[in-house]
Amino acid sequence: MIEIKNIVKSFDGRDVLKDVSTVFEKGKTNLIIGQSGSGKTVLLKCIVGLFDIDGGAILFDGRNNESMNFQERGLLRQEIGMVFQNGALFDSLTVEENVRFPMDMFTEMTMKEKLFRLNFCLERVNIRDSNHLYPSELSGGMRKRVAIARAIALNPRYLFCDEPNSGLDPVTSILIDNLIKEITAEFDITTIINTHDMNSVMEIGDNILFISEGEKCWEGNSSQIFTTRNKKVDAFVFASPFSKQLKEIKKMEGDE
């Protein structure tokens, strides 16, 4: 479980996050949604420690990130897996070396054990016969899946995904979403996904946090989001003419 309390963050005097508090539960896919520039990526980067917060607290299962020393933070980071928007795979390493990288850096496993673990991770994300390919030789969807395999290589307690299905076709997006949801449940980890993809919201949103102009605007789950009276959420969810039509049809069905 990750608990954030009254997080404040500003850049050059401009408040990007204003007093944001919530709880991201274990074993669930927690989504942060909001328009571009609303502060969701900054929030995610604050939680993983890429940005220092100006105020508030971040608790990882009760452990305060801010009061940890350099070594403790290093150990905490080994419990974190992160999937970046473009995968952020190391260009100079093959698929196998990318997934093995955290094991090489932080474990005393033998090569046999590492190979067993990396093959398990790659099979888990349905990547086969690509161990010796470089990231430039992979498709967007494969790159995301290898990034997920690398993120779960050390059995993380916390998984963060920054727009995991951006730039992917709808079919691959759903595959990636389902994969993240399955892994979250299977390994009982706390997963936080930063997205503005409405399919993800509908498919895997166990707990959804809506951010608008740096503030927490709404919180709920995927079924509640369609019935909320919050105007900002409504405008975001039903932004396209197609979704508006869909909403009207649903409403008419409900009236009948």
Residue ranges that bind another protein, judged by CB under 8 A: 48-50, 73-78, 80, 82, 84-86, 88-91, 101-102, 104-106, 160
Q: Is 17 exposed, middle or buried (0-12, 13-18, 19+ CB in 10 A)?
A: buried
Q: Three-state SS string across 124-181, please?
A: HCCCCCCCCCCHHHCCHHHHHHHHHHHHCCCCCCEEEEECCCCCCCHHHHHHHHHHHH
CA triple 105-181-247, angle to 5 deg: 140
d(CA 78, CA 57): 20
Residue 18 corresponds to which amino acid?
K
- The alpha helices in the chain, defined as continuous H runs, are 40-48, 70-77, 95-106, 111-124, 140-151, 170-187, 198-204, 231-237, 241-255
59 versus 88: smaller Cβ distance to another protein: 88
Question: Do 34 and 196 form a contact (C-beta atoms < 8 A)?
Answer: yes
CB of 74 to another protein, least distance (A): 5
135 versus 205: smaller Cβ distance to another protein: 135
Tell me which residue has tokens 């494969």. Answer: 142
Q: Which two tokens stand for residue 71?
A: 């070594």
Q: Which two tokens stand for residue 58?
A: 């971040």
48 versus 185: smaller Cβ distance to another protein: 48
CB of 50 to another protein, least distance (A): 6
100 versus 196: smaller Cβ distance to another protein: 100
106 versus 226: smaller Cβ distance to another protein: 106
26 versus 45: smaller Cβ distance to another protein: 45
CB of 92 to another protein, least distance (A): 9
CB of 161 to another protein, least distance (A): 12
d(CA 78, CA 48): 11
86 versus 222: smaller Cβ distance to another protein: 86
CB of 91 to another protein, least distance (A): 7
CB of 140 to another protein, least distance (A): 14
CB of 57 to another protein, least distance (A): 19
Farthest-apart Cα atoms in the chain, separation: 65
